[in-house]
Structure 1
């Protein structure tokens, strides 16, 4: 038998031993077939029955022979602790490890390290299994221009995570974009990863307003002994639903625009809102959608170039016209040199 087949048989039998209950009436061969299939080991009932007989010669498992169907269980005092990870869990852990390492506090990761190691070891031993090869077939690609993550001091990030876990206030020195560094007392509430950039949602000093702070702009972070104060009704999900991470005031507007054929196809497949409508009128595709008036919306519209003409709101149309005119002016300056 090839080495890879031996590994698969051993992994299958390991899953079986983990599924056997510690007392009678036990588990039937048919039930084990179903559990093995869920774990990624589709085999016949006859194969399971042969495995059970072989395993009973090496481990303290017995068979309840009456009445049928026969049930298998651990004999008294013979049950084992099979600390392992299932194949499907190993694949999920392996795929999620990168993101988890970026988000979870160090003390949480320490608890997961043995699981990460077990997952890698199991996948390495079972590399011939078709489910293991799934990890080489799944990838995430951002829809925007790919950028490298900002540089973040690991000690500062760990201090923020610690404060979130312990719900403690932090003294920080924060350097906003194009601004002077400030000394602040923050009440950290939530950590949100937006693309490659982590942001801290927090209140400042004794104010109730929740603000956003880019983690890479912290120059120093000190965890205090004082507990945070959470604003009444605060919820990170409510903040996200209100468009907090779109960098806007949260105001909803009715966007109306003319679209190119390509952009009309794209937004028809990936709508901007639940109430979006795309229709063909007067030789043009027209879009109508309720969206949040935010920096993210402005950025998206400007990134479409000639593929979109904003009709409403009028203020948004004027803003886009001014930004495009400014951009055209920059190109004209270069051409005149």
Structure 2
């Protein structure tokens, strides 16, 4: 089994070969040393010079020795596509692996599995010598909301959703609605796949509806691919759909929110505003908040979570909806257990 020193040398020299350009004037030992340091390899310029001399005896490398500084590069027509990944590539793969799994088609994911495995092995092998390899243990991404457990998605169903999206085909589905707990027979034209927190949603048009709707991937009970081209609205773009606020479970209606907030919430909102045009006007007991914001369930959930720190003044319909929700909650909690 190779020692840590041997693995470090092999990894460093392999990275040098990846960094070398295929034409003059090439890269100097100093430039290569700097790039290696940025990639997490602890080394010296003298070590890089020795590496270059050793590698040039095995690989078709050329040194521009006609003038200083001396640049190294692959001989014309002799550069090779080296297998493997750099430390930076390995780190990137490890950081994105979990988040992209639900969004990548099964066949493509299978082709990525060796790269994911290689990334883990490379970072583990270089962990003691490379600061960059240890970076994955020093960063994390968490959801700001309650950390719910992700629902299980039938792998075959997800594969069919991926195929329909790739090939722009329709799907015949059995879908269980969240509220009525009833299974619906639907023919869908998939338009996109969106990961929202722990839930994967299919964005699609159904034959029985005219609008674009969301379907939670874990609620499909049967999925069959149909050799019929999907029906795609001419002006539909997934990026525009997401920006419209649809993933907040709204209808894209913008409202002028006017409210009083207490000092603590006002401070948080100054750090993370609700909208680009949000304003806070200081008052003796808090602040007056104004903002243009998408009227959605996400907004209502957030407002309810801040119930003791905010009073809605406008719009009146939103104010009444929140009052009704809180009255219902009070009625439930007033019930004697």
Q: Same fold (TM over 0.5)?
A: yes
Return the alpha-carbon distance in structure 2 between the equivalents of residues 178 and 222 of structure 1: 24
What is the TM-score of this pair, normalised by structure 1? 0.92
CA distance in 2, matches of 1:319, 1:77: 71
SS in 1 for 2:335: helix
Structure 1 residue 130: Cα displacement:
0.9
TM-score (norm 2): 0.92
Aligned positions of 1:303-318 closer than 5 A: 303-318=305-320
Q: CA deviation at 1:26?
A: 4.3
Shift of 1:60: 4.1
Q: What is the rounded CA distance, in whole Å, between the counterparts of 1:158 and 1:236 in structure 2?
A: 20
After superposition, residues 77-96 of structure 1 pair within 5 angstroms as 79-96=79-96
Separation in 2, partners of 1:321, 1:297: 14
- Counterpart in the other structure of 1:99: 99
Q: Distance in 1 between matches of 2:178 and 2:132?
A: 46
CA contact (8 A) 1:30 1:45 kept: yes
Whether contact under 8 Å (1:169, 1:223) holds in the other structure is yes
1:211 is paired with a residue of what secondary structure?
strand
Q: Tell me if 1:53 matches 2:72.
A: no
SS at match of 2:153: coil
Compare 278-287 and 33-42 and name the one that shifted more.
33-42
Name the CA distance, whole Å, in 2 between partners of 1:260 and 1:24: 65
| Residues 139-218 of structure 1 mapped to structure 2, 5 A cutoff | 139-179=140-180, 180-205=182-207, 207-218=209-220
Distance 1:289 1:24 in 2: 57
Q: What is the SS of the residue equivalent to 2:159?
A: helix
Offset at residue 32 of structure 1 (A): 2.0
The Cα offsets for residues 23-71 of structure 1, whole Å up to 9 and x where unpaired, read as 6654432332243234233544332212212223444434342233333
The aligned runs of 1:39-50 (5 Å cut-off) are: 39-41=39-41, 43-50=43-50
3-state SS of paired residue (1:123): helix
In structure 2, C-alpha distance between the alignment counterparts of 1:318 and 1:68, rounded to whole Å: 77
Distance 2:256 2:75 in 1: 69
Q: Which moved more, 1:49-58 or 1:101-110?
A: 49-58
2:305 and 2:268 map into 1 onto residues whose CA distance is: 14
Q: Distance in 2 between matches of 1:73 and 1:306?
A: 66
Moved more, 49-58 or 271-280: 49-58
What SS does the corresponding residue of 1:220 show, helix, strand or coil?
strand
Aligned to 1:233: 235
**Which deviates the most, 56-65 or 80-89?**
56-65
Shift of 1:74: 4.1
- Measure the CA separation in 1 of the matches of 2:308 and 2:168: 49
Q: 2:256 aligns to what?
A: 254
Alignment length, in residue pairs?
Answer: 334
Query: 1:33 touches 1:42 (CA, 8 Å); kept in 2?
Result: no
**Contact 1:191–1:198, Cα closer than 8 Å, also in 2:** yes
Question: Match of 1:83, SS?
Answer: coil
| Deviations 1:77-122 (CA, angstroms, capped at 9, x unpaired) | 8654421101011011011111121211111112212211221121
Helix, strand or coil for the counterpart of 2:308? helix
Does the aligned pair in 1 maintain the 2:249–2:297 contact within 8 Å? yes
Is there any run of 5+ residues in structure 1 with no aligned partner, and where? none
Report if the CA contact (8 A) 1:258-1:311 is conserved: yes
Q: Does structure 2 retain, via aligned residues, the 8 Å contact 1:184–1:204?
A: yes
Q: CA deviation at 1:5?
A: 3.8
CA distance in 2, matches of 1:267, 1:274: 12
Q: 1:170-215 deviations in whole A, cap 9, x for unaligned?
A: 0001111232211111100001111100111111127541111111
Cα RMSD of the aligned pairs, angstroms, is 2.1
User: Does the C-alpha gap of structure 1 residues 20 and 268 become closer, same or farther in structure 2, counting only changes over 3 Å?
Assistant: closer
**Cα distance change, pair 311–77 in 1 and its aligned pair in 2 (3 A):** closer
Matched ranges for 1:262-301 at <5 A: 262-301=264-303
Where does structure 2 lack aligned partners over 5 or more consecutive residues? none
Which secondary structure state, in structure 2, belongs to the residue aligned with residue 291 of structure 1?
strand
